[in-house]
């Protein structure tokens, strides 16, 4: 292991019995080393100035273990923790506490997946109890708090507001038989006015007279045992014993006392005790439908689902490859080939793991139109298929977390690929999978050869650096159509796979010569812009900024060793304010806004017709208004998530783990965990051509990665450099040697990402 400059290797035995073996500088551990404490604890990993810093693993005498990132001696960044009791956590950390997006598997079988703050669930999250109950919603300080849905495994559910772990505010309870109670709650009990709607089948069953009951089983008890909060508030070393359960069985009876056919009841509760009940008299069918509508004014699902839906509008760049399309045959060949390879490769067992031979393996096969023993019949012409290092790519896909079935569904499912208008200079063709997940790019023979030769280096790097910014490659193939020329393809990940619209795209190399687009193009168009067009500095959250530059250094080290150059950092920027403006309000939303106002008026009139006493009709009206309001808020939720600006510190940097920051975005956009280059909250600070900072700072979400990494520095590139340097300053043109290229690239990125 390397230790860097001025670092020697040392075994140091301390007086108290501790032993350290590893890099040492100025009397302190530095670089890579292993420290064993007398109590049996060990740390093995990176050090800086005597503190754990970088990546490392710590084992406690109890057997508990942490593997992940450290900063100044603290668990900070992304890491996995296994407690002695068998519980596991993987996700974000800050100051030795769970913080950010993370998943915890408790030793009793419970699971929590969501946001954490200072060691406790906080923000949106989903908790699933081992016995099958689950809560999906907002948390605060380790308790259910905000808006959320509790679903009992016995079939009941509560949708609504929570406070300190209990139902509190406006909420709807639904029984197994679909009867619902819509009303106000306090400290886990019904308290205030509400509407009870028996299920259709129930309402036919009984017609007994109204007997307001003082001890109805539906109102007397909270549906949840209250939380002490302690169970979830543990630090990284103490194992929690979460044992809070919903008591679904006790709530199955809704205390229905009178059921006229399709009636609705106005009820009033005092701390869970039913104090008043009256059937609501409905004069005609439309009145009844109206009132049913108010009972259904519930949100259609999780906020993130809404967000995904909202993004759908923006989906689908490029041209769908339909049957008569010039690329149709090629697409079919490619899909057949991939389907065959992935299917076949998955059945092979790797007894001895990967070997050297797998890196050089090539598999050839012919796909006749009429089919063969190994291949299915197909509608395209005969073609030949060649697969490069299939086992290596299978392992890469596995390491990148791609499920083989998902991979096939995306690329070879019923939906066609889309051909993108050729985006690069090279004339390469680009295809996009229907779900925007994968990009297939045609490549030159030289590029293909280079990737194949460098595959071992690439594989090792991607294995060691889970947050690498380098393009993820998922497969390397060649198709030779009947009487046609060979076409080589690489399958890679789409960096802009997101439901948020990308407003600006930049292809950044760090060279200035010729690196701007023409003056006349609309800079906010979908065109990919270049280095000199970039008018922003991007401020990332504390921690992420350091991680990015550390990773860029590592990635450039690989690219240098692969003797490549001309690669770019592809950057996509989503402006949060613009995005919100785009998303609201659409014409139909404005219409439904007016519709809601009208509906409210109809409700008012209807409540008046119900001839309730003054107090109850006032309260019912208030309840209906609250429901309408909460419906409006929920409809606007996706925009609120985006518009919720992360807090900024005095240098304009977004504050890490703040509401609306990178973690919260990752959760709402349905990512497993926060990743470098994906969904990152940033502040775009505008500057002029001379680099002077203007006043304006905008909240953005950024996506980026290193693409086009297969251009080898060969004799032609050398000549190109020589030729161009006669006319221009040699340092500003893009064809420089790989070392200078990498240096210049990193220097530029340090200016862009601050
Ligand atoms: P050039 O020769 O101009 O550098 P090229 O034909 O070799 O281009 P790339 O540089 O690989 O192609 O990509 C061209 C464009 O395609 C990029 O600017 C980007 O807009 C899009 N693109 C390429 N790879 C990806 C990716 N992994 N995710 C998203 N977009 C991509």
- CATH value at residue 21: 2.20.110
Predicted pLDDT of residue 732: 55
Output the residue whose Cα is nearest ligand 1's atom 5: 424
Output the residue whose Cα is nearest ligand 1's atom 24: 707
- Closest ligand 1 atom to residue 428 Cα is 6
Cα-Cα-Cα-Cα torsion 33, 37, 40, 43, nearest 10 degrees, comes to -30
Distance CA 124, CA 146 (A): 9
**Phi-psi group of 295: left, alpha or beta (phi > 0 → left; psi -120 to 50 → alpha; rest → beta):** alpha
Does ligand 1 come within 6 angstroms of the Cβ of 511?
no
Ligand 1 pocket test, pick from 427, 706, 708, 710 with the greatest ligand atom count within 8 Å of Cβ, gives 708
233 and 136 in one domain?
yes
Q: Which domain holds residue 83?
A: 1-105
Does ligand 1 come within 6 angstroms of the Cβ of 725?
no
Residue that is written with structure tokens 């503190």 in the block = 51
Read off the pLDDT of residues 643-702 as tens digits, 9 standing for 90 and up.
Answer: 567 778 877 888 777 777 888 777 777 666 678 999 899 999 987 666 666 667 889 999
Is 422 inside a domain boundary? yes
Domain boundary among 71, 105, 139: 105
Read off the pLDDT of residues 348-389 as tens digits, 9 standing for 90 and up.
Answer: 777 778 889 999 999 999 999 888 888 888 878 899 999 999
pLDDT at 246 over 80: no
Is 473 inside a domain boundary? yes
332 and 440 in one domain?
yes
Distance CA 720, CA 323 (A): 42
**Bridge partners of residue 113, in order along the sequence:** 103, 126
Read off the pLDDT of residues 257-286 as tens digits, 9 standing for 90 and up.
Answer: 434 445 678 888 889 888 888 776 655 445
55 and 12 in one domain?
yes
More confidently predicted of 3 and 124: 124
Is 294 inside a domain boundary? yes
Output the residue whose Cα is nearest ligand 1's atom 13: 424
pLDDT at 603 over 90: no
Distance CA 182, CA 170 (A): 8
Predicted pLDDT of residue 489: 94
Q: How confident is the model at residue 148 (pLDDT cuts 50, 70, 90)?
A: confident
Does ligand 1 come within 6 angstroms of the Cβ of 473?
no
- Determine the distance separating the centroid of ligand 1 and the alpha carbon of 386, expressed in angstroms: 24
362 and 262 in one domain?
no
- Determine the distance separating the centroid of ligand 1 and the alpha carbon of 316, expressed in angstroms: 17
Ligand 1 pocket test, pick from 490, 507, 526, 529 with the greatest ligand atom count within 8 Å of Cβ, gives 507
Predicted pLDDT of residue 92: 86
Distance CA 87, CA 70 (A): 21
- CATH value at residue 168: 2.20.110.10
> 556: closest CA among 514, 509, 512?
509
Average pLDDT of the segment spanning 46-67:
94
Predicted pLDDT of residue 87: 94
364 and 386 Cβ atoms separated by less than 8 Å: yes
- Determine the distance separating the centroid of ligand 1 and the alpha carbon of 585, expressed in angstroms: 34
Does ligand 1 come within 6 angstroms of the Cβ of 494?
yes
Using DSSP, state whether 11 is helix, strand or coil.
strand
Output the residue whose Cα is nearest ligand 1's atom 26: 494
Predicted pLDDT of residue 198: 84
367 and 378 Cβ atoms separated by less than 8 Å: yes
Predicted pLDDT of residue 256: 44
Starting at the edge strand that comes first in sequence, how are the strands of the sheet with 528-530 ordered? 528-530, 504-508, 568-575, 693-707, 680-687, 536-540
Read off the pLDDT of residues 91-103 as tens digits, 9 standing for 90 and up.
Answer: 889 899 998 888 9
478 and 349 in one domain?
yes
Read off the pLDDT of residues 713-735 as tens digits, 9 standing for 90 and up.
Answer: 765 565 565 556 555 555 555 55
Let me know how long the chain is. Answer: 754
Helix (H) or strand (E) holding 751: helix 738-752
Beta-strand relationship, 536-540 and 42-48: unpaired
Domain boundary among 105, 132, 153: 105
Ligand 1 pocket test, pick from 400, 420, 424 with the greatest ligand atom count within 8 Å of Cβ, gives 424
Q: How confident is the model at residue 218 (pLDDT cuts 50, 70, 90)?
A: very low
Domain boundary among 105, 123, 142: 105
pLDDT at 238 over 70: no
150 and 32 in one domain?
no
Average pLDDT of the segment spanning 212-233:
30
What is the tally of structural domains in the chain?
A: 4
% of the chain with per-residue pLDDT over 70:
72
Distance CA 622, CA 618 (A): 6
- CATH value at residue 348: 3.30.800.10
507 and 477 in one domain?
no
Ligand 1 pocket test, pick from 317, 400, 423, 438 with the greatest ligand atom count within 8 Å of Cβ, gives 423
Output the residue whose Cα is nearest ligand 1's atom 8: 424
What is the pTM for the complete model shown?
Answer: 0.66
Does ligand 1 come within 6 angstroms of the Cβ of 706?
no
Does ligand 1 come within 6 angstroms of the Cβ of 709?
no
Output the residue whose Cα is nearest ligand 1's atom 6: 424
Predicted pLDDT of residue 58: 97
Read off the pLDDT of residues 539-579 as tens digits, 9 standing for 90 and up.
Answer: 998 888 888 999 999 999 999 999 898 899 999 999 887 66
Average pLDDT of the segment spanning 586-595:
58
By the 10 Å C-beta count (0-12 exposed, 13-18 middle, 19+ buried), 568 is classed as buried
Predicted pLDDT of residue 422: 64
Read off the pLDDT of residues 180-210 as tens digits, 9 standing for 90 and up.
Answer: 888 889 999 998 888 888 876 544 333 222 2
114 and 100 in one domain?
no
Average pLDDT of the segment spanning 40-58:
94
Q: Which two tokens stand for residue 273?
A: 């005790």
166 and 287 in one domain?
yes
Is 722 inside a domain boundary? yes
Does ligand 1 come within 6 angstroms of the Cβ of 424?
yes
Range picked from 29-43, 112-126, 703-717 for highest mean pLDDT: 29-43
> Could you tell me the maximum CA-CA distance found in the chain, to the nearest angstrom?
100
Ligand 1 pocket test, pick from 427, 430, 531 with the greatest ligand atom count within 8 Å of Cβ, gives 430
Q: How confident is the model at residue 419 (pLDDT cuts 50, 70, 90)?
A: confident
201 and 235 in one domain?
yes
- Determine the distance separating the centroid of ligand 1 and the alpha carbon of 669, expressed in angstroms: 24
Read off the pLDDT of residues 643-658 as tens digits, 9 standing for 90 and up.
Answer: 567 778 877 888 777 7
DSSP class per residue in 80-139: EEE-TTS-EEEEEEETTEEEEEEEEE-TTS-EEEEEEETTEEEEEEEEE-TTS-EEEEEE
pLDDT at 64 over 70: yes
Could you tell me the CA-to-CA distances from 510 to 378, 530, 569, 570, 741 in Å, in that order?
Answer: 47, 9, 9, 12, 8
Is 604 inside a domain boundary? no
289 and 205 in one domain?
yes
Residue 274 CA to its chain's centroid (Å) = 44
User: Using a CB cutoff of 8 Å and minimum separation of 24, what contacts does 511-516 make?
Assistant: 511/732, 511/733, 511/734, 511/736, 511/744, 512/732, 513/724, 513/728, 513/729, 513/732, 513/733, 513/734, 514/733, 514/734, 515/734
Distance CA 646, CA 100 (A): 13
- Closest ligand 1 atom to residue 507 Cα is 18
- Determine the distance separating the centroid of ligand 1 and the alpha carbon of 514, expressed in angstroms: 17
Is 614 inside a domain boundary? no
385 and 239 in one domain?
no
Is 624 inside a domain boundary? no
559 and 451 Cβ atoms separated by less than 8 Å: no
Output the residue whose Cα is nearest ligand 1's atom 18: 507
Is 619 inside a domain boundary? no
- Closest ligand 1 atom to residue 494 Cα is 28
What sign for the dihedral angle of Cα 753, 498, 318, 388? positive
Output the average pLDDT for the chain: 77
Does ligand 1 come within 6 angstroms of the Cβ of 570?
yes
Q: Which DSSP letter does residue 238 get? A: S
């Amino acid at each position: 292991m390397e230790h860097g400059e001025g670092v020697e290797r040392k075994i140091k035995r301390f007086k108290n019995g501790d032993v350290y073996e590893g890099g040492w500088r100025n009397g302190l551990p530095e670089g890579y080393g292993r420290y064993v404490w007398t109590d049996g604890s060990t740390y093995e990993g990176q050090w800086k100035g005597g503190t754990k810093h970088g990546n490392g693993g710590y084992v406690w005498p109890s057997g508990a273990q942490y593997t992940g990132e450290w900063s100044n001696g603290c668990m900070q960044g992304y890491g996995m923790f296994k407690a002695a009791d068998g519980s596991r956590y993987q996700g974000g950390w800050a100051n030795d506490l769970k913080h950010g997006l993370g998943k915890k598997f408790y030793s009793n079988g419970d699971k929590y997946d969501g946001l954490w703050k200072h060691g406790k669930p906080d923000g949106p999250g989903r908790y699933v109890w081992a016995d099958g109950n689950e809560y999906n919603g907002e948390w605060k300080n380790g308790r259910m708090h905000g808006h959320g849905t509790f679903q009992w495994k016995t079939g009941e559910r509560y949708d609504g507001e929570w406070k300190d772990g209990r139902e509190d505010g406006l909420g709807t309870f639904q029984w197994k038989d679909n009867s619902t109670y819509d009303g106000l709650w306090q400290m886990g009990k019904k308290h205030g006015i509400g509407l009870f709607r028996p299920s259709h089948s129930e309402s036919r069953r009984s017609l007994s007279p109204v007997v307001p009951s003082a001890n109805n089983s539906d109102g007397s008890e909270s549906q949840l045992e209250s939380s002490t909060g302690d169970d979830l508030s543990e630090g990284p070393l103490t194992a929690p014993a979460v044992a809070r359960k919903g008591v679904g069985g006790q709530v199955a009876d809704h205390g229905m006392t009178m059921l006229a056919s399709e009636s609705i009841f106005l009820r009033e509760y005092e701390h869970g005790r039913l104090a008043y009940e009256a059937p609501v008299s409905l004069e005609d069918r439309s009145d009844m439908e109206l009132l049913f509508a108010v009972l259904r004014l519930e949100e259609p699902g999780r906020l993130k689902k809404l967000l995904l839906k909202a993004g759908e509008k923006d989906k689908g760049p490029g041209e769908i490859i339909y049957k008569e399309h010039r690329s149709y045959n090629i697409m079919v060949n490619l899909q057949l080939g991939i389907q065959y390879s992935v299917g076949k490769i998955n059945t092979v067992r790797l007894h001895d793991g990967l070997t050297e031979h797998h890196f050089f393996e090539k598999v050839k096969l012919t796909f006749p139109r009429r089919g063969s023993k190994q291949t299915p019949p197909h509608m395209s012409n005969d073609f030949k298929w060649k697969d490069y290092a299939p086992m290596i790519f299978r392992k890469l896909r596995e390491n990148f977390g791609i499920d083989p079935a998902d991979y096939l569904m995306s690329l070879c499912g019923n939906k066609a690929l889309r051909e993108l208008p050729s985006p690069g200079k090279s004339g390469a063709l680009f295809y996009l999978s229907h779900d925007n997940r994968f990009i297939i790019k045609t490549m030159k023979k030289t590029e293909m050869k280079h990737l194949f030769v460098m595959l071992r280096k690439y594989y090792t790097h991607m294995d060691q650096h889970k947050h690498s910014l380098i393009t993820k490659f998922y497969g390397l193939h060649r198709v030779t159509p009947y009487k046609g020329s060979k076409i080589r393809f690489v399958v890679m990940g789409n960096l802009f796979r997101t439901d948020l619209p990308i407003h600006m795209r930049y292809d950044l190399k760090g060279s200035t010569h010729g690196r701007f687009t023409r003056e006349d193009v609309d800079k906010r168009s979908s065109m990919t812009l270049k280095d000199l067009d970039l008018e922003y500095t991007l401020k990332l959250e504390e921690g992420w900024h350091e991680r990015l530059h550390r990773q860029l250094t590592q990635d450039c080290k690989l690219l240098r060793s692969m003797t490549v150059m001309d690669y770019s950092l592809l950057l996509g920027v989503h402006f949060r304010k613009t995005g919100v403006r785009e998303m609201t309000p659409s014409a139909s939303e404005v219409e439904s806004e007016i519709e809601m106002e009208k509906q409210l008026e109809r409700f008012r009139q209807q409540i008046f017709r119900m001839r309730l006493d003054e107090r109850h009709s006032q309260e019912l009206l208030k309840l209906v208004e609250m429901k309408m309001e909460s419906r409006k808020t929920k409809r606007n939720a996706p925009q609120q998530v985006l518009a919720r600006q992360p807090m900024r510190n005095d240098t304009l940097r977004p504050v890490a783990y703040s509401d609306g920051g990178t973690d919260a975005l990752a959760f709402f956009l349905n990512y497993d965990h926060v990743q470098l280059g994906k969904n990152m909250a940033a502040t775009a600070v505008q500057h002029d051509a001379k680099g002077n900072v203007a006043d304006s700072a905008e909240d953005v979400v950024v996506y980026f990665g290193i693409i086009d990494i297969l251009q080898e520095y060969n004799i032609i590139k050398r000549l190109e450099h020589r030729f161009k340097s006669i006319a221009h300053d040699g340092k500003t043109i893009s064809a420089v040697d790989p070392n200078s290229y990498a240096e210049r690239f990193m220097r530029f990125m340090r200016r862009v990402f601050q």
